[in-house]
Amino acid sequence: MAEKLYDVVGIGNAIVDIIARCDDGFLSKHDLAKGFMRLIDAEEAARLYEAMGPASERSGGSVANSIAGLASFGAKCGFIGRVAADQFGGIFRHDIRSLGVAYDTPPAPDGAPTARCLILVTPDGERTMNTFLGASVDFTPEDVDSGLIEAARIVYLEGYLFDRDHAKAAFREAARLAKRAGAKVALSLSDAFCVDRHRADFLTLVKEGADIVFANEKEITTLYQVNSFEEAADRALADCELAVLTRSETGSVIVTEGETLVVPAERLSEVVDVTGAGDLYAAGFLYGLTQGAPLSTCGRIGSLAAAEVVSHIGARPETSLRKLAAGLIP
Amino acid sequence: MAEKLYDVVGIGNAIVDIIARCDDGFLSKHDLAKGFMRLIDAEEAARLYEAMGPASERSGGSVANSIAGLASFGAKCGFIGRVAADQFGGIFRHDIRSLGVAYDTPPAPDGAPTARCLILVTPDGERTMNTFLGASVDFTPEDVDSGLIEAARIVYLEGYLFDRDHAKAAFREAARLAKRAGAKVALSLSDAFCVDRHRADFLTLVKEGADIVFANEKEITTLYQVNSFEEAADRALADCELAVLTRSETGSVIVTEGETLVVPAERLSEVVDVTGAGDLYAAGFLYGLTQGAPLSTCGRIGSLAAAEVVSHIGARPETSLRKLAAGLIP
């Protein structure tokens, strides 16, 4: 790839996570489907928060977590995403900037508060997410900082953000700018429900906008409305250059022209909180790509980063990923 | 003690902790004395926050942490302390109420934002605290909810709050109400620098207002301006009914008329973050008292709670202290 100022620039929801432990009974009582993400409004967010136990707050957001991971590897990164001018917005801005990430999206001057995700972590380490998108939904094509996009080697787009029309328009604009500047466009499908809600638009984006697609098994089979993983993988290969498909503890499958690689997951002694596992897998994979590592190594770096993040509460790394992956990076 | 609605009602700063890891070089660079608490203004708080790495946020405050610990043991508790009507105030209110603690201090309608403490945790597990008191300093005698105080068996006062004249007046009022209602008054000296700044007032409060005093070695020797721990302990005994003196890994010393007990600290495999150790020791000790346990058992329950809180980041328990201490409680 050409010499550019940023290895990866991400576009996604700018969210603060509110994380509390709960038991399975709490999920049933509040009709929450374990392991999924659902969108909630301000009223439901207030109601659920009141019912939750004591929590801790920290920055989140799927692609923002990936960008934090990439920064921890030592990559040069930028992020684009909307917060409000409130205390949670201050947390988000501080945390991402403190990693050396370029983040200059102006806070929304009025309207909804900064997005938050109420994350319930059950004793099995599974997370159930309830997202109030708040100021994140105000994301429009005007927020797409063309200077940042043009300075990126890879532009990474978050499927979760793809839930509103003006955000979709912003994605198309970002993809267009990226292609024109010779950047690769990577897309995370993020969530099977979101894919299901916006299948046609996702298909168009995968076919026309994205070079690299990240998805888990459920998301990719939902996108193509097929029953088998293998069939979905074939379809993905026909639509894009590189599909990186994660299968939880089974590991990941990397599909590209003429090659299908299976990468085992890291063995874990304990899973404390799976929040951010996919985001950090993507971080490691993309970091490998920017370093010119072979695809199998990219997958192994991804697995390593995912293993770090599930070993503690919270969706961002707590140790230097650069040190952790030292042996794998060329 | 008489039948009362609450085992313990605490009065203290209502603070949100902003916790980040740092190395020793960061402390030197910013002229921070490791292991101490200092008060900072809004400007310094903004400057230091910007320099800090990625953080997580959770409710703190010394006596508020003790009350959270007491609630985790199953005690009935109340808390009095001032936040602002902002997002951090919402975090504080949610977290303490979600533990079943009665907390009804109205948020300050205007003025400074909710108090925050920038906590830097070095690799040795030591914490260095930088507190912007914000809305907490607006605490006045009017905030002392007489109904809550009168319904308490023990009223627990936080020395940290004793830094402003109207807060001192509020403490004296709370002590007066408590005594009249037959409650015991417990006082935490909180911080050697704070004791040094307000020695005369602290001495008066210890002599006239407090039945039980919690202090570490540095605080109690600073209060009496003596060099030896033994001398300080003798002076404390002359001034109050019960002095509970903590000496970090050496354990604690409980001094009362005719009896001096030495309680060893729990053995720890790893100290992750000492924030809250003293607060949780006090929680365990007070819980033992409310259950009528012998003083040596109160000390052991305190040590157990302190050991739990230093085993993870953050100043409030992450496991049920009731279960942890099941064998010790009568």
Q: Is the pLDDT of residue B2 over 60?
A: no
Residue B122 is assigned to a structural domain of this protein: no
Q: Give the whole-angstrom CA distance, residue A23 versus residue B321.
A: 17
Which region among A84-93, A284-293, B243-252 has the lowest average model confidence (pLDDT)? Answer: B243-252
Of residues B199 and A327, the one with the higher pLDDT is B199
Q: Give the whole-angstrom CA distance, residue B199 versus residue B185.
A: 19
- Looking at residues B316-320, what average pLDDT do you find? 95
Q: Is B58 on the interface with A (CB under 8 A)?
A: yes
Q: Would you place residue A244 in the very low, low, confident or very high pLDDT band (cuts 50, 70, 90)?
A: very high
Nearest to B54 among A21, A56, A95 (CB): A95
Q: Is B323 on the interface with A (CB under 8 A)?
A: no
Phi then psi for A97, rounded to 5 degrees?
-70, -35
Chain A segment 200-229 residues within 8 A of B by beta carbon are none
Q: Are A275 and A315 contacting, i.e. CB atoms less than 8 angstroms apart?
A: yes
ipTM over cut 0.90? yes
Letter string b/e over residues A215-226, b meaning 16 or more CB atoms within 10 A of that residue's CB: bbbbbbbbbbee
Q: Would you place residue B1 in the very low, low, confident or very high pLDDT band (cuts 50, 70, 90)?
A: very low
Name chain A contacts of B94, Cβ cutoff 8 Å.
49-50, 52, 54-55
Beta pairing class for A152-158 and A6-11: parallel
Residue A206 is assigned to a structural domain of this protein: yes
Average pLDDT of the residues of chain B: 94
Q: Is the pLDDT of residue B270 over 90?
A: no
What's the confidence (pLDDT) of residue B330?
67
> How distant is the Cα of A178 from the closest Cα of chain B, in angstroms?
29
Name chain A contacts of B316, Cβ cutoff 8 Å.
54
Residue A28 is assigned to a structural domain of this protein: no
Q: Would you place residue A204 in the very low, low, confident or very high pLDDT band (cuts 50, 70, 90)?
A: very high
Q: Would you place residue B27 in the very low, low, confident or very high pLDDT band (cuts 50, 70, 90)?
A: very high
- Looking at residues B171-188, what average pLDDT do you find? 94
> How distant is the Cα of A147 from the closest Cα of chain B, in angstroms?
25
Q: Which residue has the tokens 């920055």?
A: A59
Q: Taking the mean position of all CA atoms in its chain, how far away is CA A81?
A: 12
Residue A277 is assigned to a structural domain of this protein: yes
CATH number, position B314: 3.40.1190.20
Q: Is the pLDDT of residue B328 over 90?
A: no
- Cβ pairs bridging A and B (under 8 Å): 64
Query: CA nearest A314 in B: which residue?
Result: B56
Q: Would you place residue A237 in the very low, low, confident or very high pLDDT band (cuts 50, 70, 90)?
A: very high
Q: Would you place residue A1 in the very low, low, confident or very high pLDDT band (cuts 50, 70, 90)?
A: very low
Q: Is the pLDDT of residue A211 over 80?
A: yes
**Substitution target from A18, A21, A26, A56 for chain B, most B beta carbons within 10 A:** A56
What's the confidence (pLDDT) of residue A253?
95
- Looking at residues A118-142, what average pLDDT do you find? 93
What's the confidence (pLDDT) of residue B250?
84
User: CA angle A50-A54-A57, nearest 5°?
Assistant: 95
> How distant is the Cα of A69 from the closest Cα of chain B, in angstroms?
12
Neighbours of B265 (CB within 10 A): 19
Question: How many DSSP H helices and E strands does chain A contain?
Answer: 13, 14
CA distances (Å), origin A51, targets A45, A47, A54, A261, B220: 10, 7, 10, 45, 41
| Terminal alpha carbon distance of chain B | 16
Grouping H, G, I as helix, E, B as strand and the rest as coil, residue A172 is helix
Question: Residue B67: which domain range?
Answer: 6-13+60-114+133-324
Residue B254 is assigned to a structural domain of this protein: yes
Per residue in A67-115, pLDDT (tens digit) is 999 999 999 999 999 999 999 999 999 999 999 999 999 999 889 999 9
Per residue in B286-308, pLDDT (tens digit) is 999 999 999 999 999 999 999 99
Per residue in B101-137, pLDDT (tens digit) is 999 999 998 899 999 999 999 999 999 999 999 999 8
CB contact under 8 A, B56 and A52: no
**Substitution target from A91, A121, A316 for chain B, most B beta carbons within 10 A:** A91
Q: Is the pLDDT of residue A127 over 80?
A: yes
Residue A20 is assigned to a structural domain of this protein: no
What's the confidence (pLDDT) of residue A163?
79
Name chain A contacts of B96, Cβ cutoff 8 Å.
54
Q: Is the pLDDT of residue A2 over 60?
A: no
Q: Would you place residue A316 in the very low, low, confident or very high pLDDT band (cuts 50, 70, 90)?
A: very high
**Substitution target from A18, A47, A52, A57 for chain B, most B beta carbons within 10 A:** A57
What's the confidence (pLDDT) of residue A330?
67
Phi then psi for B107, rounded to 5 degrees?
-65, 145
Name chain B contacts of A52, Cβ cutoff 8 Å.
94, 98
Nearest to A91 among B57, B59, B96 (CB): B57
- B98: CB partners within 8 A, 6+ apart: A50, A52, A53, A54, A55
Q: Are A142 and A49 contacting, i.e. CB atoms less than 8 angstroms apart?
A: no
Residue B119 is assigned to a structural domain of this protein: no
**Substitution target from B17, B26, B57 for chain A, most A beta carbons within 10 A:** B57
Tell me how many domains chain A contains: 1
Q: Is B116 on the interface with A (CB under 8 A)?
A: no
Q: Is the pLDDT of residue A198 over 70?
A: yes
Per residue in B90-109, pLDDT (tens digit) is 999 999 999 999 999 999 98
CB contact under 8 A, A56 and B54: no
CB contact under 8 A, B58 and A53: no
CB contact under 8 A, B314 and A56: yes
Share of chain B above pLDDT 90, in %: 84
Residue A39 is assigned to a structural domain of this protein: no
Burial class, B327, CB count within 10 angstroms (exposed 0-12 / middle 13-18 / buried 19+): exposed
Per residue in A150-184, pLDDT (tens digit) is 999 999 999 888 878 888 899 889 999 999 999 99
> How distant is the Cα of A95 from the closest Cα of chain B, in angstroms?
4
Q: Which residue has the tokens 């198309």?
A: A172
- Looking at residues B174-191, what average pLDDT do you find? 94
